[in-house]
Amino acid sequence: MKIDRQTSGDPAFDTLLGGGLEARTITQLYGEPASGKSTICLVAAIATLRAGHPVVYIDTEGFSIERFRQIAGEDTEKLADRLFLFEPLDFEHQAIVIAEAEKVLKTQKPRLLVMDSATALYRTDLEKGRDALQSLTKQMIHLLGYAKRYEIPVIITNQVYMDTTRNTWYGLGGYALEHISKVIVRLEKAESPGLRRARLVKHRSRPEGAMIEYEIIESGIRSRT
């Protein structure tokens, strides 16, 4: 049987996910600003690069070379060589970039695709209403197609909005993103300063609510459990 899991770069996070990132699947990380979404994406990308595999990285928020360097350390230049970075400028361009990424998937055989964030540019297009939501859904179906065809894990991150009546953060993109992500992890700031929590919201073979605590550090994340 084919091995269909690979490390996220952090052992506790792997355990939370039931043994690592699952191939042929979209894993969604959502959470408030500074909860650690981009950090975890970088940690996973760098772990995949260290294992010798290329990575497709779609960054809508301005890729931080400085942060990549902090996490990758001495190997930065070597690892960055196999990082295929795409930086869409707006939501329409995001769809084009997703389509263009297939060339890399075909020729370079990456073992991970990251999209950080799936919804930041969508958010700025929200006034277009249903059209934007349909386009987001199409983009996510496109990514899921890649996950399945190329047998790789896809990580997407999702911005949140605060529902003030319930005092709760909700992920953007609603059902479009909820259904298509087979694993959903919510990242949140804990009570004590610097501490974060990753909580399993959806998983096919693990109990909902499972949780780890972690800190964001120079070299990535450090889990407490």
Ligand X SMILES: Nc1ncnc2c1ncn2[C@@H]1O[C@H](COP(=O)(O)OP(=O)(O)OP(=O)(O)O)[C@@H](O)[C@H]1O
By the criterion CB under 6 A, which residues form the site for ligand X?
A: 31, 33-39, 61, 67, 70, 216-218
When the beta carbons of 141 and 162 are compared against ligand X, the nearer one is: 162
- If the CB atoms of residues 37 and 203 are measured against ligand X, the closer one turns out to be 37
Instruction: Tokens for 139, please give them.
Output: 């983009």
Contact call for residue 38 and Mg ion (CB under 5 A): yes
Closest CB to Mg ion among 48 and 158?
158
Element (H, E) at 132: helix 130-149
DSSP SS3 for 10: coil
Part of the chain binding Mg ion (CB under 5 A), chosen from 32-40, 62-70, 140-148, 197-205: 32-40
Regarding 35 and contact with Mg ion (CB under 5 A), the answer is no
DSSP state, 85? Answer: E
Q: Residue 209 binds what, of ligand X, Mg ion, none (CB under 5 to 8 Å, by partner type)? A: none
What b/e sequence results for 158-197 when a residue is b if at least 16 CB atoms lie within 10 Å of its CB, and e otherwise? bbbeeeeeeeebebbbeebbeebbbbbbbbbbeeeeeebb
* Residue 158 in contact with Mg ion, rule: CB under 5 A: no
Picked from ligand X, Mg ion, none, the partner binding residue 35 (CB below 5 to 8 A depending on kind) is ligand X
Number of Cβ within 10 Å of residue 82's Cβ equals 15
Query: Which residues contact Mg ion (rule: CB under 5 A)?
Result: 37-38
